[in-house]
Structure 1
Amino acid sequence: MKIHFTLNGQPVELEAEPFARLAPILADVLGIASVRTPCGIGRCGACMVLLDGRPVNACLVVAGKVEGAEILTAEGVADAAKPVIDALERHGAVQCGYCAPGLLVSLAAAHRGTGDMKAEDVEGLLTGNLCRCSGYAGLRKAIADVFA
């Protein structure tokens, strides 16, 4: 089937099986470096994207569901998420960087979604983003900085 959507502000048209997963389409077909596909079952958050403004695990979304949608990846939210990126850097919140794009997408969604969100609420939103090397201390400090 032919699908049409907007990716990071640019129109995309491509052929895909209706039940093909979005994460490999973005990563392997369209070359989006920030979309990673380690688990493929929605547990790690490394493939997190914004789909019509909502953070979703792209490995769980099928191509047939993105017709006409707006998709933003870490590349697409980077400019708007500058305060989040600065806080992550300032507090050494990211070590190896593998989880960073998914974390950034989730934090960017929280940052642009509401001005009255508290750090505790944001931490709850990140339950779907796993980081295996940071210990989360720097991440908690960065969240406190941005959402205090």
Structure 2
Amino acid sequence: MQVNIILNGTKVTAEAAPDTLLIDFVRAHGCYSVKRGCETSNCGLCTVFLDDVPVLSCSVLAARADGHRVTTLEGLQEEAAEFGAFIADQGAEQCGFCNPGFIMNALALFREKEYPTEEEIKEYLAGNLCRCSGYEGQLRGIQNFLAWKKAKQEGAE
């Protein structure tokens, strides 16, 4: 079957088997930030935005994305780089494998809630698996990013 999507702002049309997962489709088109981790929809490593809503691409058929916008970390480089520096500063990207999914979900959180509480951050990011860090560095990175963003915003006013 033919699948037509807007992938990171570019129209992509390609043949795909009916059982092709979205993760395989986007990786076949060069989006290597989207990773396999658990194969059970539990780790968050394969998170993409489908029409600006975070979804686990290992649980979505490519055919379901037909006619929709799909955004991966490759399509959010500027937005992600600003936030990612705060995660790196806390040493929370030890091996880096979980970073793309973690950053995608954090960006989704920031879009939903401009200044989330610590509890909201923990709740929103509960589905992201990191085998290296214990999550404290990521939490500190998010909190530092939000404090910086707030100070920057207040300085501009």
Please indicate, yes or no, whether the TM-score normalized by the shorter chain is above 0.5.
yes
CA deviation map 1:19-52 (0-9, x unaligned): 311112222x212110111322211111111111
Shift of the alpha carbon at 1:18? 2.6
Paired residue secondary structure (1:78) = helix
Q: Which residue of 1 aligns with 2:3?
A: 3
Runs of 4+ in 1 over 2 A off after TM superposition: 116-120
Unaligned runs of 5+ in 1: none
Q: Which residue of 1 aligns with 2:63?
A: 64
CA contact (8 A) 2:73 2:80 kept: no
Q: Which residue of 2 aligns with 1:79?
A: 78
Separation (CA, whole Å) in 1 of partners of 2:43 and 2:56: 9
Percent identity at matched positions? 36
Q: Which residue of 2 aligns with 1:132?
A: 131
Q: Which has the larger radius of gyration?
A: 2
Question: Is 16-25 or 134-143 further displaced after alignment?
Answer: 16-25
Q: Which residue of 1 aligns with 2:29?
A: 30
- The size of the alignment, in residue pairs, is 147
Separation (CA, whole Å) in 1 of partners of 2:73 and 2:118: 21
| CA separation of 1:81 and 1:119: change in aligned 2, threshold 3 A | farther
Shift of the alpha carbon at 1:112? 2.6
Say whether residues 1:54 and 2:53 are aligned partners: yes
Question: Is 109-118 or 37-46 further displaced after alignment?
Answer: 109-118
CA RMSD of aligned residues (A): 1.5
CA contact (8 A) 1:48 1:106 kept: yes
| CA separation of 1:77 and 1:113: change in aligned 2, threshold 3 A | farther
Q: Which residue of 2 aligns with 1:93?
A: 92
CA deviation map 1:77-110 (0-9, x unaligned): 2212333112112211110000010001111111
Letter in 2 for 1:14: A
TM-score by length of 2: 0.86
Say whether residues 1:18 and 2:9 are aligned partners: no
CA deviation map 1:114-139 (0-9, x unaligned): 32422321221111110000111111
Separation (CA, whole Å) in 2 of partners of 1:81 and 1:119: 20
Larger fraction in helix? 2
Question: Is 127-136 or 117-126 further displaced after alignment?
Answer: 117-126
Q: Which residue of 2 aligns with 1:146?
A: 145
CA deviation map 1:43-87 (0-9, x unaligned): 111111111111111000001110111111111122123331121
Letter in 2 for 1:11: K
Paired residue secondary structure (1:19) = coil
Unaligned runs of 5+ in 2: 148-157
